[in-house]
């Protein structure tokens, strides 16, 4: 299963008030393993950066002045994301900003299924802090380089947090999550992506020679051997 862990940095909190996306960072996962493929870009927001936002991510007007507009790289962004499921911390915030930018660029809004790791963490750890820093601390993930928010770095950290939230390195064996699909009207519907029973059993990996060799070994272990009891029970 292909997933994109995604984060944005912006000029403020509300795209409807004219605030803009200034950075997007994406990490590709395949079956919960990072592939090494990323998308990362800074954008000129065509507005003065508010002091409060600059304090959070450190992106200045001078730094962003020569960066492309979102519309200049929108096709590259959409091609990277494709139809993959998105993994986002506080998903409504980032998706709201990205959809506002897509509409400005004359592109359809995102309809990808997504997992909100804030909601997931709150379900798994009621009453606990669920900020990215708090989750990194809880799971022992090194976030010492996160002196400021940064979309690519935060996506890398979130990918590690997400893997822990779905069961750590054995997540593929126990994955049970609920994704959310948005339609063109902005409505949402639950999608069950839990892993069900294997439809076709795997073929046996032991040959008859292997079985015969094992049976021969068991006969040398004596009458009280555990393997004899297992064989009899079977």
Q: Which residue is listed with tokens 């292997």?
A: 210
Annotated catalytic residue within 19, 40, 149, 214: 149
Whether residue 57 lies in the annotated active site: no
Q: First-to-last CA distance in the chain? A: 37
CA-CA distance, 159 to 155, in Å (whole number)?
A: 6
122 Cβ contact list (under 8 Å, min separation 6) = 130
Residue 26 backbone zone (phi > 0: left; psi -120 to 50: alpha; other: beta)? beta
Q: Which residue is listed with tokens 């010492």?
A: 144
CA-CA distance, 172 to 195, in Å (whole number)?
A: 9
Question: What are the residue numbers of the active site?
Answer: 149
């Amino acid at each position: 299963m292909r997933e994109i862990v995604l984060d944005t940095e912006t000029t403020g909190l509300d795209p409807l008030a004219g605030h803009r996306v200034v950075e997007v960072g994406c990490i590709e996962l395949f079956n919960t393993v990072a592939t090494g493929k990323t998308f990362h870009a800074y954008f000129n927001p065509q507005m003065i950066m508010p002091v409060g936002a600059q304090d959070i991510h450190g992106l200045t007007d001078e730094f962003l002045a020569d960066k492309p507009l979102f519309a200049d790289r929108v096709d590259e962004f959409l091609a990277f994301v494709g139809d993959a499921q998105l993994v986002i911390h506080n998903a409504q915030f980032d998706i709201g900003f990205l959809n506002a930018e897509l509409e400005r660029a004359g592109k359809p809004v995102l309809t990808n299924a997504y997992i909100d790791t804030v909601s997931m963490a709150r379900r798994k750890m009621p009453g606990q802090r669920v900020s990215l820093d708090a989750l990194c601390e809880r799971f022992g993930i090194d976030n010492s380089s996160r002196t400021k928010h940064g979309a690519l770095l935060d996506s890398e950290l979130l990918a590690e947090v997400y893997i822990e939230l779905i069961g750590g390195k054995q997540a593929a064996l126990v994955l049970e999550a609920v994704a959310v699909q948005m339609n063109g009207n902005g409505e949402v519907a639950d999608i069950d992506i839990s892993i069900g029973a294997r439809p076709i059993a795997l073929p046996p990996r032991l040959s008859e020679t292997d079985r015969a060799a094992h049976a021969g070994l068991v006969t040398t272990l004596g009458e009280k051997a555990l393997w004899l009891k297992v064989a009899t029970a079977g």
